[in-house]
Amino acid sequence: MTKGCKCWGVVPAAGVGKRMQADRPKQYLDLGGRAVIQHTLERLLGSGVFEAVAVAVSSEDPYWPGLAIAADERIIRAEGGRERADSVLLALKALEEHADSDDWVLVHDAARPCITASDIHRMIESLKDDPVGGILALPVHDTLKHVDAGRIAETIDRRRIWRAVTPQMFRHGALKSALELAGSRGALVTDEASALELAGYRPGIVEGRSDNIKITRPEDLALAAFFLEQQC
């Protein structure tokens, strides 16, 4: 990390995960005896790079208080918002009394429990002197088709396409301003890079590991359990 600059984590965790069709939000589903978000936060804190991690959860969330990691002194609870961008912005505001505007913030999905310390460290090393910041991403290996009305309109050059994952790493002040700008314009941004792009920046890309999956559907739990076992 750049001398004199600190690193903070942000985990938006106010989503309900409707596609899982479960009795609770996906971040609280059981994964090897612990909640998904417990794995995620343990991985982040275990990397040794964060001063603290702000977790944005709903004020009506009945599951968060029961997690052992919720009592960790390195965890800062923030209020969750309606959309992901709202939760990230609220978490950034919760960090304002601790973080400087130029400090780095890494935003990570609560439902990506297979993040590795090696990816986190490589990302920081690659972007620590970057004027904008950037994201972990994966190159696309499948052939991509542009479909119109159920018919193939064209084949897309996959060499130019990357899958955005997390963490996504930007300066605290720049990310906060970009999210506020997106909100003022009524723009729905699905990741932090989108907000920076809207503000006129061009974030960088750092290739990550393919096992950094996001739990979205029921079958993803078994795959995540396999990856966690293999990573040990």
Tell me: pLDDT of 223 over 90: yes
Tell me: pLDDT of 157 over 70: yes
pLDDT digits (tens, 9 = 90+) for 64-78: 999 999 999 999 999
The reply to whether 34 falls in a domain is: yes
Bridge pairing between strands 53-57 and 7-12: parallel
Rounded distance between C-alpha atoms, residue 108 and residue 200, angstroms: 22
The reply to whether 86 falls in a domain is: yes
pLDDT digits (tens, 9 = 90+) for 159-208: 999 999 999 999 999 999 999 999 999 998 999 999 999 999 999 999 99
- Among residues 46, 29, 88, 3, the alpha carbon closest in space to that of 214 is found at 29
The reply to whether 161 falls in a domain is: yes
Q: Which neighbouring-strand residues pair with 164?
A: 137
The reply to whether 2 falls in a domain is: no
Domain that holds residue 215: 7-231
- Among residues 15, 4, 12, 16, the alpha carbon closest in space to that of 53 is found at 12
The CATH number for 205's domain is: 3.90.550.10
The reply to whether 224 falls in a domain is: yes
pLDDT digits (tens, 9 = 90+) for 119-152: 999 999 999 999 999 999 999 999 999 999 999 9
Amino acid, single-letter form, for residue 68? A
Total domain count for the chain?
A: 1
Tell me: pLDDT of 2 over 50: no
In whole angstroms, how far apart are CA 167 and each of 18, 65, 144? 23, 24, 25
Polymer length in residues for the chain = 232
